[in-house]
Amino acid sequence: MSALWTSAEIEAATGGRASAPFDVTGVTFDSREVEEGWLFVAMPGTVADGHDFVARAFAQGAAGALVSRPVEGPHVLVDDVPQALEALAIASRARMTGSVLGVTGSVGKTSTKEALAAALERRHRGKVHRSLKSYNNHTGVPLSLARMPRDSVYGVFEMGMNHEGEIRALVALVRPHVALVTAIAPAHIENLGSMDAIADAKGEIFEGLEPGGTAIIPNDTPYRDRLLKKARRHAETILTFGSGDADVHALHAVRADNGGSLVTARLESTDLTYTIAQPGEHWVSNSLAVLAAVEAAGADLAAAGLALGDMGGLKGRGERHRVALPGGTALLIDESYNANPASMAATLRSLGEEKVEGRRLAVLGTMLELGEHSDAAHAGLAPAIREARVDEVILVGEPARRLLDALGSDVAAILVPDAAAATDALLARLAPGDAVLVKASNGIGLAKLVDRVAGGAATCST
């Protein structure tokens, strides 16, 4: 494998000093992720200092380390490790001659990022780099950039935020040619104070557009015009996606035999008919955003359509498991990674569309970072649960009591304190033919429920 970075290149980018020549083929700041030949970045932390894990990283095969104090083994010594990682990210972006696409939004940004990377990868195998997991913050974005191979044809990067100004700083590193906002929803409203402020914070992604760049904006949001106003200051081209008069819209979309959707979309240059493996109306919207970005990047639309038909669910974001039970199987839909009112409503609609032989169950945990809006947001999910014809709901965490009260006697529901109690409650109820949706903010820990209930279950695409 060719070198991702040489020690001389790391020195030049960071202003550091190498103890000895070495080459690396990967970069990480998590010693548990280190692979043979990688660079370990010894990030300082409030709980643990990465320097304490340098020896472990070398034992696992690290070829070098980025450090702010001398260590045993090949290393580059710098004054400030986080600043050095950012400098490495800047150098990586500077040497990349392909096209860069940036994604943000309150809902669906990781799923859309993954779908977009898959759509581009279909034609350019091994030449598309993307940010892994949800590495979308002030450390994750620089790491994702530093990992980008020098010969990448496309780079796809996710950017998130909790406060005003965070995306502005991130997009200055990413410098995308195409900047996409998936949706605006009340995620992190506790920190930002209003929906207008959330829209403005997401709109910061347009500030980093390269000259001649394209902004892609959701049409189906009350904040469309606010985003358009922001985009006009920075983008040469603006595309909207969604329904109505959107530049990229579905001429028709129907449920496919596999549970996903069959869509014919109108784009700027052509009409395209394709299937989506993932169920739900929100995935139709995601696919339109992906195709708008693919077209803006000048990539292959037909290949993108094929990729959307093959794409499976992501862990914590729609992955589907067949759980073996005495007498048959049940379907578990894993949406445990994140939740806000918009994404809760969207996935509940998908559950309502699911063909089931048994019952529809939902394990719904607290939605975090809603501040003073929390009570109303939780209670406001009651209509979506009724419309989805959910037979029984297990609610997790005290803030969900507002939803319990709002459901009244219409839907069988219980409130439990934590993920462990929710797991026990679900296992006591789950029967062959059932379909269960598991969704909450990540901090509630329902991923542990999924791991225990799914166990060795097979993932599935239907």
Tokens coding 222: 């009350």
Please indicate if the annotation marks 229 as binding a ligand. Answer: no
Place of tokens 């620089």: 142
Place of tokens 């784009």: 267
Identity of the residue numbered 324: A
User: Rounded to whole angstroms, how far apart are CA atoms 460 and 296?
Assistant: 32
Closest Cα partner for 361 from 296, 459, 428, 284?
428
Please indicate if the annotation marks 203 as binding a ligand. Answer: no
Closest Cα partner for 45 from 60, 63, 65, 29?
29
Give phi and psi for 96, each to the nearest 5. Answer: -80, 125
Bridge partners, 325 (sequence order): 328
Q: Which CA distances in Å does 97 have to 125, 296, 336?
A: 17, 17, 37
Please indicate if the annotation marks 24 as binding a ligand. Answer: no
User: Rounded to whole angstroms, how far apart are CA atoms 181 and 158?
Assistant: 10
Long-range pairs of 227-232 with CB within 8 A, sequence gap ≥ 24: 227/181, 227/184, 227/199, 227/202, 227/203, 230/200, 230/203, 230/206, 231/203, 231/206
Cβ count within 10 A of residue 269: 8
Bridge partners, 253 (sequence order): 263
Tell me if residue 30 falls in helix, strand or coil. coil
Identity of the residue numbered 253: A
User: Rounded to whole angstroms, how far apart are CA atoms 101 and 373?
Assistant: 33
User: Rounded to whole angstroms, how far apart are CA atoms 81 and 195?
Assistant: 35
Q: What is the pairing mode between strands 5-6 and 23-24?
A: antiparallel
Please indicate if the annotation marks 106 as binding a ligand. Answer: yes
Please indicate if the annotation marks 107 as binding a ligand. Answer: yes
Tokens coding 127: 């030449």
40 with 62: CB under 8 angstroms? Answer: yes
Place of tokens 């839909």: 333
Please indicate if the annotation marks 105 as binding a ligand. Answer: yes
Annotated binding site: 105-111
Residue ranges of the binding site for ATP? 105-111
